[in-house]
């Protein structure tokens, strides 16, 4: 099954939303395969946000992401990248639909609660960036037969 990365950002950590965010992904039916708290540093953020390095807000994003530790999660499920992105909502919390994580908890384009991988390819890269192989776990989810049709899994 497909895997995706979700980072619970400092804006969520500081607002005590960790459990609420994890709860939403669990209730949706995604399976948690990896979870850890870590303090991000310049080197890791330079790599993660390299596609934004020439943007005027690059340093601001890095500063924001280093305010507190973050929670990095690896979630597994059919089409998990798209499922997580749909649940999260658009980047700008002011424009995100109610019912999405950002729509319910964010009013900012930057302090927008979570990061989610934007493609299957980037999810694979990001998971390797934030997790060692022995930190990702494979096990049978007991309820998979009620989450998916028999020909989906």
Assess whether pLDDT exceeds 90 at residue 8: yes
**Nearest alpha carbon to residue 4 among 106, 138, 111, 120:** 120
Assess whether pLDDT exceeds 80 at residue 142: no
Q: Is the separation of the CB atoms in 113 and 101 below 8 Å?
A: yes
In this structure, whether the domain defined by 3-135 belongs to CATH 3.30.70.141 is answered with yes
Q: What is the pLDDT of residue 120?
A: 98
pTM, 2 dp: 0.95
Q: What is the C-alpha separation between 82 and 120, in angstroms, rounded?
A: 9
pLDDT tens, position by position, 28-41:
999 999 999 999 99
Q: What is the pLDDT of residue 140?
A: 87
Assess whether pLDDT exceeds 80 at residue 77: yes
Mean pLDDT of the region 13-25: 98
Assess whether pLDDT exceeds 90 at residue 153: no
pLDDT tens, position by position, 106-135:
999 999 999 999 999 999 999 999 999 999
Q: Which residues of 31-110 form beta strands (DSSP E)?
A: 31-38, 70-76
Mean pLDDT of the region 78-101: 98
What's the whole-number average pLDDT of the chain?
96
Mean pLDDT of the region 75-104: 98
Q: Which residues are catalytic?
A: 115
């Amino acid at each position: 099954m497909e895997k995706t990365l979700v980072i619970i950002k400092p804006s969520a950590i500081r607002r005590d939303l960790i459990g609420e965010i994890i709860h939403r992904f669990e209730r949706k039916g995604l399976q948690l395969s990896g979870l850890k708290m870590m303090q991000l540093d310049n080197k890791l953020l330079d790599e993660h946000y390299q596609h934004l390095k020439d943007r005027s807000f690059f340093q601001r994003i890095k500063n924001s992401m280093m305010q507190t530790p973050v929670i990095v999660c690896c979630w597994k499920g059919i089409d998990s990248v798209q499922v997580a992105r749909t649940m999260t909502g658009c980047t700008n919390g002011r424009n995100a639909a109610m019912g999405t994580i950002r729509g319910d908890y964010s009013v900012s384009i930057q302090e927008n609660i979570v990061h989610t991988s934007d493609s299957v390819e980037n999810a694979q890269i990001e998971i390797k960036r934030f997790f060692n192989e022995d930190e990702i776990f494979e096990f049978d989810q007991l309820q998979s037969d009620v989450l998916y049709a028999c020909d989906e899994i």
